[in-house]
């Protein structure tokens, strides 16, 4: 009976101690068949006589000794039970099938987990991230011209100046705000840019740019201090820059140099479930907003504190 050379090599590696996995495969193949077990023990005795020891195996044989073991195995294989090759091949095939099943289960599990996390993310947000179309919906230089279509809160008024307009308010007013009266649908991507010159800020003075959620009506969406109740809001004060989500949840913060004094280009992007915020062209935040804004959305800005009249606004632009 001719024997598969590949199986011959497997037996040599197993019996000479060169391959523990091959040894386990040989033991598995013979473990449930007395005839095969007896033959494998005889093979083991042949190899032990050549190596000089049996207990596994203190060192791998030399190439010359390995060649002698191979010849002894080949000489002994004609005495093997007729089903020896078949059982050994089946044992090898079974191991391979088990390995493939484990691998397939791991891959399937990874796919399922990926889908679950993706679906959970979609469930939390309710919609995919929106993309801006690059269309300008509103633009003003804010250098003296009046603001039409905007509503002012906190007894605020718009004072135009060629060097930068300001949002003014009476001395006794805590804050003032301006927002675009015409709301924009909340299921559209929207970007609002505002350029502002800030003084060296004293404690309590700040300027913020926002998208207010007017789902309950624009006027009821602001507090008595002209702060939007539910909004994506970026605030600049002497302490630094702070970004709030629609539930007044903190999304990002960082300190600023020179107590906030200087020129700032602030940009808010509403992208459905996500928001992106840039300060002077650098990304300040890019990620989920928490609970998305429902809309209609009203872009605007707010000043507060003793220096509320010292902020100068140079340009504003709304993109869709």
Cα–Cα nearest to 253, from 245, 268, 241: 241
pLDDT class for 59, splitting at 50, 70, 90? low
Mean pLDDT of the chain: 78
Q: Is residue 94 scored above 50 in pLDDT?
A: no
pLDDT of residue 92: 47
235-253 pLDDT, tens digit per residue, is 999 889 999 998 888 999 9
pLDDT of residue 299: 94
What CA–CA distance (Å, rounded) separates 246 from 289?
A: 7
pLDDT of residue 280: 93
Q: With contact defined as beta carbons under 8 Å apart, do 284 and 183 qualify?
A: no
Q: Is residue 62 scored above 80 in pLDDT?
A: no
pLDDT class for 24, splitting at 50, 70, 90? confident
Beta carbons within 10 angstroms of residue 89's beta carbon: 15
114-151 pLDDT, tens digit per residue, is 544 444 444 344 568 889 888 898 888 777 667 788 88
Tokens matching residue 24: 């386990």
pLDDT of residue 190: 94
For residues 163 and 300, which has the higher predicted lDDT (pLDDT)?
A: 300
pLDDT class for 78, splitting at 50, 70, 90? confident
pTM above 0.95, yes or no: no
pLDDT of residue 302: 94
The residues, any chain, with a CB within 8 Å of residue 114's CB and separated by 6 or more, are none
pLDDT of residue 96: 46
Q: With contact defined as beta carbons under 8 Å apart, do 303 and 155 qualify?
A: no
172-184 pLDDT, tens digit per residue, is 788 999 999 888 8
The residues, any chain, with a CB within 8 Å of residue 203's CB and separated by 6 or more, are 238, 305
Contacts 24+ apart (CB under 8 A), 282-285: 284/234, 284/241, 284/243, 284/252, 284/254, 285/243, 285/251, 285/252
Q: With contact defined as beta carbons under 8 Å apart, do 121 and 292 qualify?
A: no
Distances (CA, A) of 298 to 99, 168, 185, 293: 59, 20, 9, 11
* Domain boundaries, given as residue ranges, for the chain: 5-97, 136-319
What CA–CA distance (Å, rounded) separates 215 from 212?
A: 9
User: Taking the chain, what is the end-to-end CA distance rounded to the nearest angstrom?
Assistant: 81
pLDDT of residue 121: 46
CATH class belonging to 136-319 = mainly beta
């Amino acid at each position: 009976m001719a024997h598969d050379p590949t199986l011959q090599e497997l037996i040599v590696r197993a019996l000479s101690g060169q391959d523990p996995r091959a040894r386990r495969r040989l033991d598995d193949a013979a473990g449930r068949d007395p005839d095969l077990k007896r033959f494998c023990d005889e093979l083991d005795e042949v190899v032990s006589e050549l190596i000089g020891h049996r207990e596994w195996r203190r060192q791998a044989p030399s190439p010359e000794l390995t060649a002698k073991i191979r010849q002894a195995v080949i000489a002994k294989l004609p005495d093997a039970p007729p089903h020896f090759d078949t059982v050994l091949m089946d044992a090898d095939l079974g191991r391979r099938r088990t390995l493939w099943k484990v691998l397939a289960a791991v891959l399937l599990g990874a796919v399922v987990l990926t889908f679950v996390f993706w679906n959970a993310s979609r469930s939390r947000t309710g919609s995919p991230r929106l993309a801006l179309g690059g269309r300008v919906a509103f633009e003003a230089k804010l250098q003296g011209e009046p603001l039409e279509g905007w509503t002012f809160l906190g007894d605020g008024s718009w004072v135009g100046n060629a060097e930068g307009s300001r949002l003014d308010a009476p001395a006794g007013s805590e804050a003032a705000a301006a927002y675009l009266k015409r709301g924009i649908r909340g299921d559209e991507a929207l970007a609002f840019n505002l350029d502002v010159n800030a003084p060296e800020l004293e404690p309590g003075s700040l300027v913020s740019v926002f998208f207010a959620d007017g789902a309950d009506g624009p006027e009821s969406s602001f507090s008595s201090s002209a702060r939007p109740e539910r909004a994506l809001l970026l605030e600049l004060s002497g302490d630094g820059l702070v970004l709030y989500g629609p539930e007044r949840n903190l999304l990002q913060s960082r300190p600023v140099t020179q107590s906030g004094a200087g020129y700032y280009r602030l940009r808010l992007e509403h992208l459905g479930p996500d928001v992106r915020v840039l300060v002077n062209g650098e990304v300040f935040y890019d990620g989920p907003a928490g609970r998305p804004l429902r809309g209609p959305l009203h872009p605007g800005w707010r000043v507060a504190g003793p220096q509320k009249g010292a902020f100068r606004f140079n340009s504003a632009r709304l993109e869709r």
